[in-house]
């Protein structure tokens, strides 16, 4: 049982609710040790007279609170509309629509997962995966059964056919800035790489870079993924593309799937994992595990504890890639979670001897 309970010292609910607080404490005690939350969310069962900036107001019908709801959101509060096996979180200009079971203790579970440091949309996913009495289970009380997790509503249709499979364990996965780097690293014997070229301009140069990557992948029988530039990758006959969460709303996923192009999708938590699964990708990337300077991240680092949770939930469902701040020093700890692949950037591109660095990184996968 956790030794870091912080619920007793916090204003969890408005109005104060002893039974809910007791239930939240009971659930929280079975979820294990997590870093203390930096956002002390308060769950409001009725709207408070004064919003504190970290309020989540629970209502049954948004239409009955239209003007009030707009006021709450402008003031920085979140609103959870929950009724009839549905829960929608309105927060920060986003709308997170979930469909699934609402246990009697779902609000208490929500408070417990918020206290574990999960962002509201991820905590809400976990609260809907919760079942009354889970805290009495003899083993791990944390939700691990994917069939009990909610569905995401309002997403674009997934392609009629699932994306082509890739190896279940992709191993070392360098993410590289140029075709020259791709050719170099594939020549070291690496079987999975990604070209992440930040600019699409000039277009002719981008096409030449992608063509070089496709050619070397075929020459060495390696899986070469192209980041973001899916149209050019499709035209070049690339093995795969890697896209971010926002790209699934604009990319022609049906064209990619029908062409046999593999798809990797980035995720940063439970909600985005469910969104990625909806599109039946070839693999899912989980990150950022550690702080990284290679790109601006939308979320705080996930850490090893969360990574282990994602792996336990998804092992055998879809190939997984850990990404973000991974180097040789932390790679053994990353692999200890059971993840089958780890993406690296600076551990290769900033190494004094890239060939030796690649050899050492690959060796870690055999230990």
Report the distance separating Cα 111 and Cα 115, nearest Å: 6
Same-domain pairing of 43 and 186: no
Asked whether residue 2 is assigned to any structural domain, the reply reads no
Note the pTM of the prediction, 2 decimals: 0.95
Question: Are 16 and 81 contained in the same domain?
Answer: yes
CA-to-CA distance for 332 and 215, rounded, in angstroms?
32
Q: How far apart are CA 188 and CA 203, in angstroms?
A: 29
Range of the domain at 48: 7-152
Q: What is the pLDDT of residue 3?
A: 43
Based on the fold, state whether residues 266 and 179 are members of the same structural domain: yes
Angstrom CA distances, 212 to 239, 241, 329, 363, stand at: 13, 15, 32, 28
H or E segment and range at residue 44 = strand 42-44
Q: Determine, yes or no, domain membership for 185.
A: yes
Q: Are 119 and 182 in a shared domain? A: no
Nearest Cα residue to 343 out of 280, 266, 276? 266
Residues 333, 251, single domain; the answer is yes
Look at residue 165 and tell me if it is in a domain: no
Rg (CA), the chain: 22
Residue that is last in its domain, among 121, 152, 183: 152
| Per-residue model confidence (pLDDT) at position 4 | 46
**Domain-ending residue, one of 120, 152, 184:** 152
Let me know whether 240 and 129 are in one domain: no
Residue 66 and residue 210 in one domain: no
Q: Please identify, among 122, 152, 182, the residue that sits at the C-terminal boundary of a domain.
A: 152
Question: Same structural domain for residues 148 and 234?
Answer: no
157 falls within a domain: no
Backbone phi and psi for residue 82, each to the nearest 5 degrees, phi listed first = -135, 125
Q: Does residue 146 belong to any structural domain of this protein? A: yes
Please tell me whether the peptide bond between 236 and the residue prior to it is cis, using omega within 30 degrees of 0.
Answer: no
Q: Are residues 265 and 135 in the same domain?
A: no
On whether residue 164 sits in a domain, the answer given is no
Q: What is the pLDDT of residue 6?
A: 60
* Beta-strand relationship, 240-243 and 223-227: parallel
Q: What is the Cα 130 distance to its own chain's centre?
A: 19
Task: Tell me what pLDDT residue 7 has.
Answer: 72
Annotated binding site for Mg(2+): 228, 247
Same domain for 119 and 195, yes or no, is no
Determine, yes or no, domain membership for 163.
no
**Which CATH number characterizes residue 255's domain?**
3.20.20.70
Kindly state whether residues 257 and 352 are assigned to the same domain. Answer: yes
What residue ranges in 31-188 does DSSP mark as E strands? 42-44, 55-59, 78-83, 86-91, 94-99, 151-152, 171-176
Tens of pLDDT along the chain (367 residues)?
A: 444 456 766 789 999 999 999 999 999 999 988 887 778 899 999 999 899 889 999 999 888 888 899 999 999 999 999 999 999 999 999 999 999 999 999 999 999 999 999 999 999 999 999 999 999 987 789 999 999 999 999 999 999 999 999 999 999 999 999 999 999 999 999 999 999 998 888 999 999 999 999 999 999 999 999 999 999 999 999 999 999 999 999 999 999 999 999 999 999 999 999 999 999 999 999 999 999 877 666 678 999 999 999 999 999 999 999 999 999 999 999 999 999 999 999 999 999 999 999 999 999 999 8
Three-state secondary-structure class, residue 264? strand
Number of domains in the chain: 2
Q: What is the DSSP letter of 15?
A: S
What local confidence, expressed as pLDDT, does residue 367 receive? Answer: 87
d(CA 112, CA 118): 9
Q: Known binding site: residues? A: 194-198, 227-228, 247, 266, 292-295, 325
Residue 247 within a domain: yes
Tell me if residue 151 falls in helix, strand or coil. Answer: strand
* Helix, strand or coil, per DSSP, at residue 171: strand
In this structure, are 96 and 177 located in the same domain? no
- Tokens linked to 140: 């791990």
């Amino acid at each position: 049982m956790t030794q870091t309970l912080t619920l007793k010292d916090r204003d969890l609910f408005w109005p104060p609710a002893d039974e809910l607080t007791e239930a939240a404490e009971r659930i929280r005690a079975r979820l294990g040790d997590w870093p203390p939350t930096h956002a002390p969310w308060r769950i409001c069962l009725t709207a408070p007279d004064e919003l504190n900036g970290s309020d989540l107001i629970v209502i049954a019908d948004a239409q009955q609170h239209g003007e009030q709801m707009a006021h709450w959101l402008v003031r920085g509060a979140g609103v959870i509309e929950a009724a009839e096996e549905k829960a929608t979180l309105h927060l920060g200009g986003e709308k997170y629509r979930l469909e699934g079971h609402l246990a009697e203790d779902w609000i208490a579970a929500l408070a417990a997962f918020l206290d574990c440091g999960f962002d509201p949309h991820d905590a809400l996913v976990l609260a809907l995966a919760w079942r009354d009495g889970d805290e009495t289970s003899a083993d791990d009380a944390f939700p691990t059964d994917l069939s009990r997790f909610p569905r995401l509503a309002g997403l674009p249709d997934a392609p009629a056919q699932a994306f082509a499979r890739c190896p279940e364990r992709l191993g070392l996965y360098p993410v590289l800035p140029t075709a020259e780097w791709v050719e170099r690293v594939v020549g070291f014997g690496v079987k999975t790489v990604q070209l992440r070229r930040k600019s699409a301009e000039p277009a002719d140069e981008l096409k030449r870079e992608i063509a070089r990557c496709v050619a070397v992948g075929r020459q060495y029988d390696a899986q070469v993924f192209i980041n973001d530039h899916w149209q050019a990758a499709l035209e070049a006959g690339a093995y795969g593309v890697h896209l971010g969460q926002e790209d699934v709303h604009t990319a022609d996923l049906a064209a990619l799937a029908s062409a046999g192009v593999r798809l990797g999708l980035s995720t940063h938590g439970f909600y985005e994992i469910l969104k990625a699964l909806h599109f039946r990708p070839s693999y899912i990337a989980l990150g950022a595990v550690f702080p990284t300077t290679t790109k601006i991240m939308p979320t705080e680092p996930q850490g090893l504890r969360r990574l282990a949770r994602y792996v336990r939930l998804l092992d055998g469902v879809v190939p997984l890639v850990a990404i973000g701040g991974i180097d040789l020093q932390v790679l053994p700890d990353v692999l200890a979670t059971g993840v089958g692949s780890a993406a690296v950037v600076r551990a290769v591109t900033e190494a004094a001897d890239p060939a030796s660095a690649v050899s050492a990184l690959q060796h870690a996968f055999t230990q």
